[in-house]
Structure 1
Amino acid sequence: MTATRSRWPVIAAFALVSAATQVLWLNFAGVTTVAAGHYAVSETAIGWLAQVFPLLYIVLSIPAGLILDRWFRAGLGTGAVLTALGAIIRLGGDGYGWLLAGQLVVAVAQPLVLNAITGISGRYLPEQDRPTGIAVGTASTFAGMVIAFVLSAILPRGDQLQLLLILSAAFAVVAAVILLVALRNEGEHRGSIVRGALRTTWNDRFIRKLCLLVVFPFGVFVALTTFSQALLEPSGVSGGVASTILLLNVVAGVIGCAVIPILVVRHRVEVRLLTTALVLTAVGCLVLAVIPGTVSGFVALAAIGFLLLPSLPIVLELVERRTGEAEGTAAGLIWLAGNAGGLLVAILTGLLVHHPFTAFITLAAVALIAVPGAWSLRPAVAAMRPPVPVDT
């Protein structure tokens, strides 16, 4: 019976570290101006404390995936330790240099953690529980974003920044210790080393199509998260209200990630959900273009978060099902493509930030471009499904 045992405590420990990486990434998202004044630097400099994460992810995603495929527990444990270490480094002094040094360490750790979402489910859960494990792991990343937004909301002043850093570091250290303890025991379901994992994975046309596909939803989400406040401001939406809208967007995404992927895999409607999410995201962006405002912002962005963010665990579950032991490398390719898409679409949206109508229309178009690609996945996804048992 042990061959089918689920090790949910390991998944929970991983979720804590995954959330911690996001907390540290977005610590200053809600207090950018205050932090710039406190540390006597520009707001752009504070922005770089977050921007180093996607930049380093693009560089390190594939190496991290290869490490996880070959030395999974050591690689993930290193990611957890570096996350905690980076958080501690930020406490070294009350200066910008310490912050940047700590952020760089955490940014190096992040691919080792996030690329392991599929791998930890594959090693510590039997096949029937893996979609749930991937959904939990993915939802934890968005939950970390929520924690970061809440912390900055309750500790908004310059004299509270040190407490903000201390609380974040405590969370990261505790999470790392819990995960290291949980990883003492090896997973029961996988363990073989894949030779030539990158070449094998990239030669899979299905994986290449998924990599291209995720560029678009990732890009739209990152652009909306980055520029919604600026794009809605001309319509009378204040910064405080915009922050609340974005918080609701991510909370809705957490709820969606915890519920939708499990139901989708159970009913075998993965492609239908991906297509629907892209179409309704485009509709939401069109609504914001035509009737921007507080009410439309709350409704559209909550709906987009609830439907679009669960696309990530669904894609990662398809990757895990397709690649098996090489899922670390495959997940690395997915995260690399997503982060690249986020940077590209965010840059494009930034160029249009003073033209909200055009910016929202552009984001709607970006979402719609991906619809044919998502729909074309149907034959490959259907071929990966196990046969339906027949009652006799």
Structure 2
Amino acid sequence: MAVTGSRWTAIVGYSLVGAATQLVWLNFAGVTTVAASHYGVSESAIGWLAQVFPLLYVVLAIPCGLLLDRWFRAGLIAGAVLTALGASLRLIGDDYGWLLAGQLVASVAQPLVLNAVTGITGRYLAPDDRPKGIAVGTASIFAGMVLAFLLSAVFGASLEPMLAVTAAFCVAAAVVLIAALRDEGAYSATRHLERGALRIAWGDPLIRRLCVLALFPFGVFVALSTFAQALLEPAGVSSSTASTILLVNVVAGVLGSAVIPVIVARRQAESSHLVLSLSITALACIALALTPGVITAFITITLIGLALLPALPIVLELVERRTGEAEGTAAGLIWMSGNLGGLLVAVAVGLLVNHPSTAFLVMAAIALAAVPGARALNQPIADLQSPSHPHP
């Protein structure tokens, strides 16, 4: 049944839970050394508290997408509850074992939540509002990253209060979402697809192209976020300054993700913007390779956040417009590709961490390698039907 009006309360609830998943994921990103000392483990062990998220995402993206396409409301609520449960488990005992248990539970929830960003807009927003809804939902995910960095800065070595605030936020977000989805109105809880959702999604050549393209910008962003401090340190950029630069990078991405995709969708300039964002990223990485320093890093990394992060909601809006009944699985494919790209590029850059210029040039080359693919999307995107008439 067609959507006759927009229910923005559902988008608000989803946005809070989306932010919660990222908050749990990155809780320790800014306090790695402090957490390692507090719990009596190595810094790499603390790093695994975050690394389990992309690793499990690659494994669970497709199963969770299939579940959402079949039982959307139940799957999304399960993701919200598991996120809250994972955050709460970390409060049971002041030891690493409970931390890891909580992270594992929350990491299972993440694909249920993030894969739903297209489904929530398709079910609760009118067609004209869907690009805006996807932009808001995706921006909220990035906002969760900002919140994680802010909590680290506010609480510092006070880990238990930080975890308690995180758990309270996750529980509140779950309650808001459940209240917003308390009934689906015209939507049935179970969706029966005429064909397999995975076959529908992967059988679409445009979706396959978008999956391949997602490897590159995701990969560069994850690698830059992971190793920026180490790569900039030889140029005299302190760890605190690098953390501030990365925070500004994500804030710029949040603002860009909330505004740019709506304008791009209105002007049907998706391909052109993807080419532009990849080109800006490549030029910024080249500048970092040639003239690293505090000022260069602030300017270039902020530009990367502003240009690169909005690419995700742009791609997801195309997915929602294209796939219709299999949008959860298709979104899962995009997220899986992105997380895989993040793992691969981060490993490659990690091997070059003692050679900063080379590492930045490698990231520039990866961004440039995606430009022809982004340019080639121009005609397939132009051939898409309007958002009010999804591709069958």
Provide TM-score, normalisation by structure 1: 0.96
Match of 2:221 in 1: 221
Paired with 1:187 and 1:13, the residues of 2 have a C-alpha distance of 17
Render the CA deviation track for 1:47-67: whole Å, top value 9, x for unaligned.
Answer: 000000000000000000000
Q: Does 1:179 align with 2:177?
A: yes
Instruction: Give the unaligned 5+ runs of structure 1.
Output: none
Q: Is the 8 A contact 1:28 1:35 kept in 2?
A: yes
The equivalences for 1:209-248 within 5 A come to: 209-248=209-248
Match of 1:149 in 2: 149
Q: Does the residue aligned with 2:30 lie in a helix, a strand or coil?
A: coil
Q: Is the 8 A contact 1:193 1:325 kept in 2?
A: no
Paired with 1:70 and 1:148, the residues of 2 have a C-alpha distance of 32
Paired with 2:200 and 2:386, the residues of 1 have a C-alpha distance of 23
- The AA in structure 1 aligned to 2:101 is A
Q: Does the residue aligned with 2:160 lie in a helix, a strand or coil?
A: helix
Q: Is the 8 A contact 1:124 1:188 kept in 2?
A: no
Paired with 2:387 and 2:181, the residues of 1 have a C-alpha distance of 34
Paired with 2:128 and 2:110, the residues of 1 have a C-alpha distance of 27
CA shift, 1:5, in A, is 1.1
Paired with 2:314 and 2:78, the residues of 1 have a C-alpha distance of 27
CA shift, 1:378, in A, is 1.0
Paired with 1:355 and 1:137, the residues of 2 have a C-alpha distance of 37
Judged with a 3 Å threshold, the aligned counterparts in structure 2 of structure 1 residues 154 and 187 are, in CA distance, closer, same or farther, namely same
The equivalences for 1:38-77 within 5 A come to: 38-77=38-77
Q: Name the stretch that deviates more: 374-383 or 238-247.
A: 374-383
- The AA in structure 1 aligned to 2:184 is E
Match of 2:342 in 1: 342
Paired with 1:189 and 1:121, the residues of 2 have a C-alpha distance of 13
Paired with 1:265 and 1:30, the residues of 2 have a C-alpha distance of 35
Q: Does 1:169 align with 2:179?
A: no
CA shift, 1:185, in A, is 1.8
Q: Does the residue aligned with 1:106 lie in a helix, a strand or coil?
A: helix
Q: Does 1:267 align with 2:293?
A: no
Match of 1:193 in 2: 192
Paired with 1:36 and 1:182, the residues of 2 have a C-alpha distance of 39
Judged with a 3 Å threshold, the aligned counterparts in structure 2 of structure 1 residues 187 and 117 are, in CA distance, closer, same or farther, namely farther
Q: Is the 8 A contact 1:214 1:338 kept in 2?
A: yes
The equivalences for 1:272-291 within 5 A come to: 272-291=272-291
Q: Is the 8 A contact 2:119 2:328 kept in 1?
A: yes
The equivalences for 1:25-174 within 5 A come to: 25-157=25-157, 160-174=158-172
Alpha-carbon RMSD? 1.4
Q: Name the stretch that deviates more: 376-385 or 14-23.
A: 376-385
Q: Is the 8 A contact 1:28 1:152 kept in 2?
A: yes
Paired with 2:387 and 2:88, the residues of 1 have a C-alpha distance of 50
Paired with 2:334 and 2:273, the residues of 1 have a C-alpha distance of 18
Aligned residues: 385
Paired with 1:30 and 1:3, the residues of 2 have a C-alpha distance of 42
Judged with a 3 Å threshold, the aligned counterparts in structure 2 of structure 1 residues 220 and 3 are, in CA distance, closer, same or farther, namely closer
CA shift, 1:386, in A, is 2.9
CA shift, 1:327, in A, is 0.2
Paired with 2:22 and 2:314, the residues of 1 have a C-alpha distance of 20
Match of 2:9 in 1: 9
Render the CA deviation track for 1:172-205: whole Å, top value 9, x for unaligned.
Answer: 0000011011111216478743230101211111
Q: Does the residue aligned with 1:94 lie in a helix, a strand or coil?
A: coil
Q: Is the 8 A contact 1:67 1:75 kept in 2?
A: yes
Paired with 2:342 and 2:176, the residues of 1 have a C-alpha distance of 31
Q: Is the 8 A contact 1:155 1:164 kept in 2?
A: yes
Paired with 2:101 and 2:151, the residues of 1 have a C-alpha distance of 21
Render the CA deviation track for 1:84-121: whole Å, top value 9, x for unaligned.
Answer: 00011000100000000000000000000000000000
Q: Is the 8 A contact 1:215 1:337 kept in 2?
A: yes
Render the CA deviation track for 1:353-391: whole Å, top value 9, x for unaligned.
Answer: 000000000000000000000111111100114399xxx
Paired with 2:386 and 2:63, the residues of 1 have a C-alpha distance of 32
Q: Is the 8 A contact 1:24 1:87 kept in 2?
A: yes
The equivalences for 1:273-312 within 5 A come to: 273-312=273-312
- The AA in structure 2 aligned to 1:186 is E
Q: Is the 8 A contact 1:142 1:254 kept in 2?
A: yes
Q: Name the stretch that deviates more: 188-197 or 252-261.
A: 188-197
The equivalences for 1:343-358 within 5 A come to: 343-358=343-358
Render the CA deviation track for 1:291-339: whole Å, top value 9, x for unaligned.
Answer: 0000010000100100100000000000000000100000000000000
Match of 1:208 in 2: 208
- The AA in structure 2 aligned to 1:144 is G
Instruction: Give the unaligned 5+ runs of structure 2.
Output: none
Render the CA deviation track for 1:12-71: whole Å, top value 9, x for unaligned.
Answer: 010000000000000000000000000000000000000000000000000000000000
Judged with a 3 Å threshold, the aligned counterparts in structure 2 of structure 1 residues 185 and 84 are, in CA distance, closer, same or farther, namely same
Q: Does the residue aligned with 2:252 lie in a helix, a strand or coil?
A: helix
